[in-house]
Amino acid sequence: MKKLILLLLILSAGVTKAQDSQDYIDLIKANLNLELKSFIYEELELSPSEEEAFAPIFDKYLDESGEIAVEKAALFELYSNNLTTYTEDQINDLNKEVIKTDLQKVKTDKKYYGKFVKAIGVKKTTNFFFLKRYLDNVVDGAKLDFLAE
């Protein structure tokens, strides 16, 4: 778990080094998806048949949620790079965009909830979303720590 959290922190910091969204998506796929899958499968204690049913749905979910994460990371980067020069109107507009990405994330979670339930059941699906929320909070916490410095 510590290895996964470290990867998440590195990736969240690496957003500023990526040249564009595609670089970030490639970075996620290359370094995080395998660790994330391994972590999720282990924590959920998926049986081989559950893994087989869950894997293709999870891959699609990672693609969609990864795109949203890229959008949100780009907004964070804009804010952190322009913290001292943004006007209140610019910050307000940025906040509206952050809210939109948060809503996209919720819609994506809702879209996949039923699919996950069919594949692995209600309890494991619930655990999955709690684990995902925990990991998202770790990344968000690292961003807040950066801004607090």
Over residues 119-138, the pLDDT tens digits come to 999 999 999 999 888 887 87
Over residues 57-110, the pLDDT tens digits come to 998 998 888 788 778 877 877 887 777 888 899 888 888 998 999 999 999 999
Q: 132-146 burial string, b = 16+ CB within 10 Å, else e?
A: beebeeebeebbeee
Q: Is 45 exposed, middle or buried (0-12, 13-18, 19+ CB in 10 A)?
A: exposed
